[in-house]
Amino acid sequence: MTFDPVLLIELLILGLCSGFLAGLLGIGGGMLMVPILTWMLSKQGVDADMAVKMAIATSMATIMFTSISSVRAHHKRGAVRWDLVRGLAPGILIGGLIAGAGIFALLKGAWLALFFAGFVSFSAFQMLLNKKPAPSRQMPGTAGQIGAGAGIGMLSGLVGAGGGFVSVPFMTWCNVAMHNAVATSAALGFPIALANTLGYVVGGWHLAPALPGAVGYLFMPALLVIAAASVTMAPLGARAAHAMNVAQLKRAFAMLLFVLAAYMLYKGLS
């Protein structure tokens, strides 16, 4: 099978959109990428079970590149809480490796699709509610941050997202300012993506390529195209996050997430 030029264009557009959203909302782009990549891979004749897994793994791997680009823009504005990155990162590495190398390979693609649909719907619902945290609530201590990080890394690995859908609400729930939470989430995207991608490589090393250029669960052509496109757009998204009120955009994006979750629910049930 030769590489489809239409697929190349689709991947380029997806990379541009996901990169901008990663910088703007600190979500890593994975919640957008996974359903669309699943659809693209299914069109290429990949088995439904494998298409879901390849979409999740490839989406996660792109976040390594998007995170670096996005966090540089946030860091220049002094928005990244590096103390929180240091506290959460050890747990994230542990949780990510467990998810990527163990749980991910054991679960069927249908269950991963249903899991993705559930968590994306929950994330969208939280965006719509926009609840304010109790004024007295603070981030937990060292042990609590390691535990929270492990949960964030594990959940991210199972749905192929950069963790922003968990880490941003968690940090704002603990009264971290929204722009700090988004910037810190972007910084956390790198250890999340690194740990899970290593796990996917270990877990899928024995698999025959489902498409030309596939290495286990990773679809390398998609990884390269999306990463190159998203890296160019992530800084623009980060700058936009500091220049605009994102409340209305978050509500619109939440509605899009419900649509994408419905598609993944359909894939999981069918």
pLDDT of residue 128: 76
Distance, in Å, from the CA atom of 103 to the CA atom of 153, rounded to the nearest integer, reads 12
pLDDT along the chain (270 residues), means of 10: 74 86 66 85 87 88 80 81 92 86 76 82 76 67 89 80 73 82 84 86 82 86 89 78 68 75 79
pLDDT of residue 133: 53
SS3 (DSSP) at 28: coil
pLDDT of residue 107: 76
pLDDT of residue 90: 92
Reported for 249-252, long-range contacts at CB under 8 A and 24+ positions apart, including other chains, are: 249/24, 249/25, 250/25, 250/127, 250/130, 251/127, 251/128
Contact 34, 268 (CB under 8 A): no
What lies within 8 Å, CB to CB, of 114 at 6+ separation is: 264, 265, 268, 269
Q: What angle do CA 263, 269, 270 make, to 5 degrees?
A: 90
pLDDT of residue 84: 92
Q: What is the DSSP letter of 107?
A: S
Tokens, residue 172? 């704002």
